[in-house]
Amino acid sequence: MSKTIIVSNRLPLQVKIENDNLEITPSVGGLATGMKSVHSEGDGIWIGWSGLTEEELDESLKKKVEQEVKKEKCATVPLTQEDLEHYYFGFSNRTLWPLFHYFMEYTEFEKDYWDSYVTVNKKFAEVVLKHAEKGDTIWVHDYQLLLLPGLIRESMPDISIGFFLHIPFPSYEIFRTFPWREEVLTGMLGADLLGFHTYDYERHFLSSIKRILRLDVNFNEIIYKDRVVKVDSFPMGIDYNKFHKAAKENMDRLPAERSDLQQRIDDHFMKDKEAKLILSIDRMDYTKGIPNRIRAFEYFLNKYPEFKQKVRLVMLAVPSRSNVPQYQLLKKETDELVGRINGQFATVSWTPIWYFYRSLPFDNLIDLYTSADVALITPVRDGMNLVAKEYIATRVKKDGVLILSEMAGAAKEMNEALLINPNNFEAMADTLKQALEMPVKEQKKRNTMLQKRLRRYSIDKWAAEFFKALKATQNLGQVIVAS
Ligand code: GDG
């Protein structure tokens, strides 16, 4: 029987060694949820790195990891410490991530990183080929594995391969600067279907295909080596019901059952009915526009001093890639900005910014979402941004205002949000005022539309649509062979 193989850099599992014992817990992230139905079907398998390097595992632990992940229908790709440093922290996070997010000044073109990227993509291919059989379907995820479709195709010319990119695909003018542009494009063309979050990313990709590889593009189909490669956009959704249900439960909780965080928030915001909570949640990443947001908030407090004492920005920044220098600089800049603004504006009874540099458990995340009058999401570039969608899903009473950067893929489907240019402080400050003063009736009208769309196009629907389109490409291939 044919099966589906999902491949991503990391497995949807957390593997930890505790006193020589293995602890394996499934991750609850969006991708893991979305792929659940695809993964659980038949003999499906998920291939990826376990999170532990070869150096951290002796032979017996290695066997144990393999056995344990197998029970979860997973298989691991062995990576060494050096692979991790060069392929992951190097090429993936210091070359592709900044380049694809238009941060040219942060992009490092290092031949050693590239060589490691090729080697590790080959390691992934080796494990995939060990498990793949004729008739199987393979779905590869994200920018760490751009060469993998091509590598699999070399050994299995007839197998069905889909690829989805979770980050933006940059415009041709950016992509053309990339020294390994041909290799990456031809690697991606090993797939039968290439999926992007938005039509713009799809368009950028096709433009690079035409101008760099000089291939013919017919609407959204590329003819490559006697095969048809289809390109399409599939905006990723969220597990709407999970967030909506959790928010409902949260709001039904009796005061005594509420978390410490929620009680602290209630203490501050219940006393003063006019007080408003503005929320931001992101990984601490330079693409997320964190310093811009804080500066815009400072500008807002100066321009509209009547909001002093009345509003508080609650900012959750989750530590990420903290061994890459630009991330360390960003953390320093953020700490200083928060310190400066709190130092400048705070009074004995009011601190303008509550800043958490950590990750919080899911229930606390819901506490924050349900308490927020405004979500202020201001990335300078973002493939999609699921936080924007999660905030809307948790608006049980349909009130609340989403301010969202035009530079997030999510903005394309969330026109009822207040869309802003994250580089325009003045407009951001004015939009914040507009959000804080928006009549509840208008909030509800906007959120009703947004919720309807998000409920319909949830994460499982996203996976199903991609899968349906991938299956359909099998017929496309036959058309070409027949004609
Ligand atoms: C990449 C692309 C694209 C955050 N803090 C906590 C926490 N989270 C969860 C959120 C949300 C997820 O993390 C973040 O997703 P985003 O989409 O906002 O951002 P990236 O991590 O950059 O994701 C992005 C995405 O891939 C999917 O294709 O949308 O553009 O950059 O789900 O809820 N979860 C918990 N505690 C936290 O402190 N439990």
| Residue 283 Cβ < 6 Å to ligand 1 | yes
Rounded Cα–Cα distance for residues 12 and 74 (Å): 9
**Mean pLDDT computed over every residue of the chain:** 93
| Residue 148 Cβ < 6 Å to ligand 1 | no
| Residue 166 Cβ < 6 Å to ligand 1 | yes
Cα separations in angstroms, 354 against 105, 169, 290, 314: 31, 34, 14, 5
Counting atoms of ligand 1 from 1, which one is nearest the CA of 29?
Answer: 32
Distance 443 CA to ligand 1 centre (A): 24
Rounded Cα–Cα distance for residues 327 and 315 (Å): 17
Confidence of residue 43 (pLDDT cuts 50, 70, 90): confident
Distance 142 CA to ligand 1 centre (A): 14
Confidence of residue 435 (pLDDT cuts 50, 70, 90): very high
Counting atoms of ligand 1 from 1, which one is nearest the CA of 168?
Answer: 30
pLDDT, mean of residues 284-310? 97
Confidence of residue 18 (pLDDT cuts 50, 70, 90): confident
pLDDT, mean of residues 346-358? 94
Q: Which residues are catalytic?
A: 166, 382
| Residue 192 Cβ < 6 Å to ligand 1 | no
Confidence of residue 481 (pLDDT cuts 50, 70, 90): very low
| Residue 360 Cβ < 6 Å to ligand 1 | yes
Rounded Cα–Cα distance for residues 471 and 460 (Å): 16
Confidence of residue 370 (pLDDT cuts 50, 70, 90): very high
Q: Residue 28: pLDDT above 80?
A: no
Q: Which among 281, 380, 394 is the best mutation to test ligand 1's pocket, defined by most ligand atoms within 8 Å of the CB?
A: 281
Distance 248 CA to ligand 1 centre (A): 21
Counting atoms of ligand 1 from 1, which one is nearest the CA of 362?
Answer: 39
Q: Which of 55-69, 129-143, 198-212, 265-279 has the lowest mean pLDDT?
A: 265-279
Sheet containing 160-164, strands listed edge to edge, beginning at the edge strand earlier in sequence: 74-76, 45-49, 4-10, 137-141, 160-164, 193-196, 227-233, 221-224, 217-218
pLDDT, mean of residues 388-409? 98
Share of residues in the chain with pLDDT > 90 (%): 81
Q: Residue 14: pLDDT above 90?
A: no
C-alpha 49: how far from its chain's center? 18
pLDDT, mean of residues 386-406? 98
Interval 164-203: pLDDT, tens: 999 999 999 999 999 999 999 999 999 999 999 999 999 9
Q: Which of 247, 233, 289 is nearest to 392 (CA)?
A: 247
The residue that leads in pLDDT, 482 or 292, is: 292
Q: Which of 35-49, 128-142, 298-312 has the lowest mean pLDDT?
A: 35-49
Share of residues in the chain with pLDDT > 70 (%): 96
